[in-house]
Amino acid sequence: MISTRFRAALAAVPLALAFTQAAHAVSSTDDPAGRVLNPGAFGGAFDGVAKLLFSNSSGNFVCSGSLLSGGQYVLTAAHCADDFTSMTVDFKLGGVVRTAAAAYVHSGWNGTLDTGADIAIIKLDSKVTGIQGFNLSTTNDVGKNVLLAGYGLVGQGLNGATGFDRDPPGTVPRIWRPHFGYNTIDATGKQLDDLLFGPGAGDNTYGENYVYDFDDGTYEHNGLQRLKDDFGAPWADSSAGLGADEALIAGGDSGGGDFVWTGSEWLLTGVHSWGWGVCGEIYADCDTSPGTNSSFGDFSGSTAVFSHTDWIKSVTAVPEPDTYALMLLGLGVVGSVARRRKAAAR
């Protein structure tokens, strides 16, 4: 059981675990097999969704990311980029592969997930051509529907994420498939923390976090609405979900993107950061599979891109790595990070 003082980073899932799992990145309401982001899907708009495979002293891990417009940089989570010795970045089911030449980790990142600093930029060893990179949303997109994308664990909402969607060992080439789904940004991380831990507890020092829940159409599993009704939460009413389109990010999706449709293009608005099964601790009937496992009733959070557009532009505008290019060594990414200064054990 996850304490209410603890959030799980949907980060780097150890690949040793992946080798033992034969099943299915995004936990969805319906069959994940219908949510694969194959090359060319959406007219190629999401061919820039990246898989990050990296190594450090603790082992081998996977995260997700988003190719930025221009083709030289990938936006991801800080907890995916603060400690690695080598990293490969690939697109289009492994058809395009690059290596990380430098990592630019936000200067405010200290391993705490809810201060708005869980964001980083990977510079690739060479530009990616022939793939459309993403432009950034410059607005606060709370209340909007978003498309979630990543290479993490997949499953269905009743039981949560169960495994990666990739070919069996020995298959050549061994394809690893990204998935997508939809959700609605309901609140900010500061609003949620202020409600749960008291006024002023929320910390958006470096930027906002977006928060959304995993709905199945029932009131019991609509955690953010129940908190609003019972405790007077300041966010707008939370819908009962998007039906079969509803999804939630899962382990390995960290660093992947939330995308908002403008009517003409998909803009990158959020960077996947954390998941939290807190609703099941507040209400016994809120979580269909207790714990933080991307089941119905769970919450997830993403770093809001609009808070960091100036920083992103300052990094991607320089021709060579500058002061931000230090590969900052922070907490080892081992699947979870203390969500607040008061660390708590499972």
**What pLDDT digit, counting tens, does each position of 46-94 carry?**
999 999 999 999 999 999 999 999 999 999 999 999 999 999 999 999 9
User: What is the reported pLDDT for 303?
Assistant: 98
User: What is the reported pLDDT for 240?
Assistant: 83
User: What is the reported pLDDT for 239?
Assistant: 80
Please say if the pLDDT value at position 121 is more than 90: yes
Dist CA 256 CA 129 (whole Å):
20
The model's pLDDT over 3-18, given as tens digits with 9 standing for 90+, comes to: 223 344 444 443 332 2
User: What is the reported pLDDT for 299?
Assistant: 86
Structure tokens, 160: 């949560």
- My answer on whether omega of the bond before 173 falls inside 30° of 0, hence cis, is yes
Residue predicted with more confidence, 287 or 115:
115
The model's pLDDT over 207-255, given as tens digits with 9 standing for 90+, comes to: 999 999 888 888 888 889 988 999 999 899 888 888 889 889 888 999 9
* 30 pLDDT tier (thresholds 50, 70, 90): low
The model's pLDDT over 145-174, given as tens digits with 9 standing for 90+, comes to: 999 999 988 877 666 666 777 778 888 788
The model's pLDDT over 243-259, given as tens digits with 9 standing for 90+, comes to: 889 889 888 999 999 99
Dist CA 292 CA 290 (whole Å):
7
The model's pLDDT over 261-291, given as tens digits with 9 standing for 90+, comes to: 999 999 999 999 998 777 778 888 877 777 6
Q: Considering the chain, what is the average pLDDT of its residues?
A: 82
13-42: average pLDDT: 56
Please say if the pLDDT value at position 28 is more than 90: no
Residue with tokens 């959070």: 301
Which amino acid is it at 304?
A: A
Residue predicted with more confidence, 196 or 311:
311
Cβ contact 214:221 at 8 Å: yes
Residue predicted with more confidence, 131 or 17:
131
CA distances from 314 to 6, 32, 65, 121, 267 (A): 33, 38, 19, 11, 19
Alpha-helix residue ranges (DSSP H) falling in the chain: 15-19, 189-197, 223-231, 279-282, 309-316
Set out the domains of the chain in order of their start, with CATH numbers: 8-324 (2.40.10.120)
User: What is the reported pLDDT for 346?
Assistant: 27
The model's pLDDT over 302-321, given as tens digits with 9 standing for 90+, comes to: 999 999 999 999 999 865 43
